[in-house]
Amino acid sequence: MSADQLAAADALIDALGATRTEPAVDAGAAALALAVAANLPVLLWGEPGIGKSATLSQLATGLGVPMETVIASVHEPSDFAGLPIVGDDPGTHGVPMAPPDWAVRLARHGRGVLFFDELSSAPPAVQAALLRVVLERRVGSLTLPAAVRIVAAANPPASAADGWHLSPPLANRFVHLHWTHNPRVVARGLAGTWPHIAVPTIDAALAPSALARSRGVIAGFLTARPGLAHQLPSDAESRGGAWPSPRTWDMALRLLVFHLCAGTSRDALSTALTGAVGDGPGLELTTYLEELDLPDPERVLANPEAFALPDRGDRQLAFLTAVVAAIDAERTRPRWEAGWAVLAKAVDAGVPDVAARAAFDLARMREPGWPVPAAVDAFVDLLSASGLLAHVQ
| 175/286 Cα distance (integer angstroms) | 16
The pLDDT assigned to 7 comes to 86
- Range with the largest mean pLDDT of 255-259, 309-313, 341-345: 255-259
The pLDDT assigned to 115 comes to 95
The pLDDT of 316-328, averaged and rounded, is 89
Q: Domain coordinates of the chain in residue numbers?
A: 16-196, 205-392
Q: Is the pLDDT of residue 330 over 50?
A: yes
The pLDDT assigned to 388 comes to 47
The pLDDT assigned to 385 comes to 52
Q: What is the DSSP letter of 159?
A: T
Strands, sheet with 42-45, edge to edge from the N-terminal-most edge strand: 67-71, 112-117, 148-154, 42-45, 175-178
Q: Is the pLDDT of residue 36 over 80?
A: yes
**At 315, phi and psi to the nearest 5?**
-70, -35
> Higher confidence at residue 50 or residue 127?
127
Contacts of 272 (CB under 8 A, 6+ apart): 31, 34, 35, 175, 177, 255, 259
Mean pLDDT computed over every residue of the chain: 86
Strands 142-143 and 138-139: antiparallel
Instruction: Look at the domain 16-196 and name its fold.
Output: Rossmann fold (3.40.50)
- Other Cβ atoms less than 10 A from the Cβ of 66: the count is 17
- Range with lowest mean pLDDT among 36-40, 83-87, 373-377: 83-87
The pLDDT assigned to 1 comes to 59
User: What 3-state DSSP class applies to 105?
Assistant: helix
> Higher confidence at residue 116 or residue 392?
116
| 181/365 Cα distance (integer angstroms) | 52
The pLDDT of 312-328, averaged and rounded, is 87
The pLDDT assigned to 259 comes to 96
The pLDDT assigned to 391 comes to 52
Q: What is the tens place of the pLDDT at every residue in 237-294?
A: 889 999 999 999 999 999 999 999 999 999 999 999 999 999 999 999 999 988 887 7
Q: Is the pLDDT of residue 353 over 90?
A: no
Residue 26, exposed/middle/buried by CB under 10 A (0-12, 13-18, 19+)?
middle
- Range with lowest mean pLDDT among 142-146, 208-212, 229-233: 208-212
The pLDDT of 330-353, averaged and rounded, is 85
| 99/84 Cα distance (integer angstroms) | 9
Contact 80, 170 (CB under 8 A): no
Rounded percentage of the chain residues whose pLDDT exceeds 70: 92
| 252/270 Cα distance (integer angstroms) | 10
Encoded amino acid at 343, one letter: L
Q: What is the tens place of the pLDDT at every residue in 290-308?
A: 888 778 888 889 988 887 8
The dihedral formed by the CA atoms of 310, 316, 320 and 323, expressed in degrees to the nearest 10? -40
> Higher confidence at residue 35 or residue 10?
35
> Higher confidence at residue 180 or residue 386?
180
Q: Is the pLDDT of residue 187 over 50?
A: yes
Contact 60, 113 (CB under 8 A): yes
**At 148, phi and psi to the nearest 5?**
-75, 125
| 187/254 Cα distance (integer angstroms) | 36
Q: Is the pLDDT of residue 91 over 80?
A: no
> Higher confidence at residue 245 or residue 375?
245
- Under the banding of pLDDT at 50, 70 and 90, the label for residue 48 is confident
- Under the banding of pLDDT at 50, 70 and 90, the label for residue 6 is confident
